[in-house]
Structure 1
């Protein structure tokens, strides 16, 4: 192999690896939530790599034409094709992904342009702008998520607090019903005859063995009591699930839902709170989700944990259990 071909082969390998990363199947649960947004923003550095490698190849083999005149439009076409093809590989496509890719292409072009600058200060500034365009989208998002996760660790065992709207990065609502009350987003679950409503909360793989249930505080708009379902996905693959539920009266109130006896809660990956689809429309605005220990449960609740009965309370603070 001639030594002159080695750099070109390395560039082709890097380009192929970058393109491959766009089509690899994502781990379970990575298509939504903060992880899904991270994968979207990673389009920026990957497209910057594509621009850099394509520009190098054009410079080497088409020296008569300025490399950026070819590399930039070729990279834009690649970014568009990626969004078109990704759904065939179980990935999602969106305009946001394409725009993050455009930021990376801009960064790659700036990097190539910096190498052609005669002034060192201008070249250094251009390099810094290039790095910002390519790396800032995922890096700033990771910092933001890290701060939110640190806040979640501090508030634990409170999982959701309406006075802490910044925690919304850990929420995923289906269908999307995040309402702004002027102080930030709040959780709003809406159901009808055809569509259930649910909130999916990233629980950061914490050990919940010391907690016996969940307290849900919120405002329910409905003509009658509504059953609120709860599901714990244990482990990241979601292979083991713990289900429970309780009934909430219309108006502002709280219910406490107890986990089934002997349920393994050592590594909880996700909490799902949901309203089943029903002909009776309902809307639940969640104010707080908080884990509760055995001492916070009344004696009668502890004694009926093995039962499969449903209780419809009258008002105030309610205790409910569905063992499944």
Structure 2
């Protein structure tokens, strides 16, 4: 018998996920200002979905769901009620994989525009969960891989994930180590780390105030340590606007990731406890910040969630300022 639209949405979403389980899947992606956006099409309309390995939910704009007439269900999350819809059936040849079913049964939360980074939807850590993702920043492509085959010349970094009492991963936020100024710092691998530029910072990047840009994050304690030790490192006062807060930004000349040193890398200052305390409740260990687009843009990164490993290949692995090989094992623990 003919399928109703809601049933067709659910069936095709499941079919899309199943059909992508045995092949590499190039995704409709745009790399803009060191951020990664997916641009699938729905009924001929291109949507913009912000991707964020450090984000906590998967969501779509309420207006889109209501206009499409999707069935809306209100569920109790244990922390309040949340309106959700089935994962949509995108246009053939212009879709993206469905998220794993273990979070909200693969459904999307409904969100207002202010929570979607100016886009139509949001895909967080639980969308990336269980997959093998090839972020090629220099080429501007994102591919879901069928197997974790490291790029030739890449170096591997172990990823840590919080697990519950049964050994199941919780938020799927990956931690890893970087080295700055001879100091090893645990951080979140965060493709969505974002600064909202201000009158002070936008001209430096050739952009406009209130534009977004992918950056990296660092807690205040480490930020202050860098400023004291390196007064020559460039600092932008009030460079990143977070609601009513104005935060500093710092340009770090060199960051070592997986034995490769790249730079410069811009970090936005984060309040004390933002990662050491708050994010620590959702990760396998306390971290000092996040490594985001301002550093990842120098790499092709294969993130293997099942194997808990990330493979990094610099744009110039032969070795100049964007791909120098160093011994990353001599750093001391951050603190």
TM-score between the two structures when normalised by the length of structure 1:
0.25
Name the structure with the higher helix share. 1
Name the structure with the higher strand share. 2
Q: Which has the higher contact order (CA 8 A, sep 6+)?
A: 2
TM-score between the two structures when normalised by the length of structure 2:
0.25
